Structure 1
Amino acid sequence: MKTEINSHYNYEEVIIWLEKKGIELYGNHFKILENDHPIVYKLIAYFLKDEPTCFQFNIDLNKGILLSGPVGCGKTTLMNLMKHLTPTAHKFSIKPCRDISFEFIQDGYEIIHKYSKGRLYQAEPKTICFDDLGTENNLKYYGNECNVMAEILLSRYDNFTTKKIQTHITTNLSASEIETHYGNRVRSRLREMINLIGFEKGIEDKRK
């Protein structure tokens, strides 16, 4: 079913542009499937800061994005494409959660500060997309176990409420699985921090 959008942006043209960028980045096999257009429209509206369309989709531009869906549905690829669509003022970096967990093993608790308090290199944006939330494990640093991403997300909630710094996330976890992994406090704060955009559970694995 085609989504009707009333906007000064031509969403069909934006999708054609994104496909060209995708071919540039990922090769000639890249294609944005028509079944994915409803999800992609929402992401385009958000990252172009198209207020009327975001209102139509019930998306709050003050919040970040949580893009959820099964393994292989293209979440990371789409967020990488959105980096090229986003106005300079809203640029973001993408950081795999597994990489953060390995950094924590090496450098300890300063990694939590690095990703939560905005202590990134000055040239990097403060808005971060934490990629594949749930693929990292609880880790030990000098014998102390720490749920690294839970601590980072709780701290970024404080940044969101005081400085309006946004957080984006990709994950294949459901809301209840997020609560199991990270606790009710994290799930509760995420509700306030993010817009949920989700692929259907039965969607095909595009890596096959």
Structure 2
Amino acid sequence: MTSTNRTLYNTLKDGIQNIVAGEKEKIEQQRFSLPVSYPDFCDLFIAFGTYCIFRRNQSHGFVIDENNEWLIQQLYYYVTNAPSFDGDLDKGIMLQGKYGCGKTVILETYSLLHNHIVKKFGLRLPLFTFIKSVTLQEQIIKQSVQSFTQKTLLIDEFGRELKTVQDYGNISRPISELLSVRSDLGVITHGTTNFTLETLSSDEFYGGMIGDRLKMMFNFITLKGDSRRK
């Protein structure tokens, strides 16, 4: 039996432990634990949600009610890294629900609140990029997939874009390719969608392989209620 060279072993062990620690730090840097109470979080969310709605030239304010209260609470658990979160804190959030039920406003409000905190206090955290899936696909075609692999994306209306596009005669799948790369890199992604995971995993959408990655990337959370649009 070959004996272990302890000096070599210790050098290799120290090396991999340093590498693992570096990767763990990268993961932690993607997350920020907001040090506020739940009532204060709700007050902030209502204020930023109202601002989000006003930017749409609508004069009514954001309201927390029986349809979105559970979701707001889950978002609070998520942004405070609380074990009470009903999902995996290392995954992003995909809000599902009917058309007009308020998914986009809630996710954009989350984006506005996060970015305001980062800018206000000069935190070394990535800003959220809130973008519709159709626009994201257009920008990938004009630039490259690599331009969007490291950004923290909040993809609105996920699944609404064309699944294949013609690029100088070649058929490409920009969003599928982006999701595959981001999944491999472990970059946090959030989104809203009108479709279920089963539908998104179908051949008419992204297919089973990407669908399997979606399960690894997202906590699928359903927002209840009908359209709030007036």
User: Which residue does 1:207 correspond to in 2?
Assistant: 229
The code of the aligned residue for 1:97 comes to S
> What secondary structure sits across from 1:65 in the alignment?
strand
Aligned partner of 2:178 among 142, 152, 156: 152
Aligned pairs for 1:17-56 within 5 A:
17-27=44-54, 28-35=59-66, 36-46=68-78, 48=79, 50-52=80-82, 55-56=83-84
Once the 2 structures are TM-superposed, how far is the Cα of residue 186 of structure 1 from its aligned partner? 1.1
Please say if 1:197 is aligned against 2:221. yes
User: Which residue does 1:93 correspond to in 2?
Assistant: 129
Once the 2 structures are TM-superposed, how far is the Cα of residue 31 of structure 1 from its aligned partner? 2.2
User: Which residue does 1:113 correspond to in 2?
Assistant: 146
User: Which residue does 2:201 correspond to in 1?
Assistant: 179
Q: Distance in 2 between matches of 1:153 and 1:69?
A: 21
Rg (Cα) greater in structure: 2
Moved over 6 A (4+): none
Contact 1:129 1:167 in 2 (8 A): yes
Q: Distance in 2 between matches of 1:147 and 1:136?
A: 10
Contact 1:150 1:182 in 2 (8 A): yes
Deviations 1:62-93 (CA, angstroms, capped at 9, x unpaired): 21111111111111211111124335325311
The code of the aligned residue for 1:143 comes to G
- How many residues get paired? 180
TM-score by length of 1: 0.77
Q: Distance in 2 between matches of 1:34 and 1:76?
A: 16
Deviations 1:90-116 (CA, angstroms, capped at 9, x unpaired): 5311121111232345x2xx4222222
Please say if 1:58 is aligned against 2:86. yes
The code of the aligned residue for 1:51 comes to N
Once the 2 structures are TM-superposed, how far is the Cα of residue 132 of structure 1 from its aligned partner? 0.9
Contact 1:101 1:139 in 2 (8 A): no
CA root-mean-square deviation: 2.0
Please say if 1:169 is aligned against 2:191. yes
Structure with larger RCO (C-alpha < 8 A, sep 6+): 1
Deviations 1:139-166 (CA, angstroms, capped at 9, x unpaired): 1111222222111101111110xxxx21
> What secondary structure sits across from 2:213 in the alignment?
helix
User: Which residue does 2:4 correspond to in 1?
Assistant: none
Contact 1:65 1:167 in 2 (8 A): yes
TM-score by length of 2: 0.71
Q: How many percent identity over aligned positions?
A: 26
Contact 2:140 2:147 in 1 (8 A): no
Once the 2 structures are TM-superposed, how far is the Cα of residue 9 of structure 1 from its aligned partner? 4.3
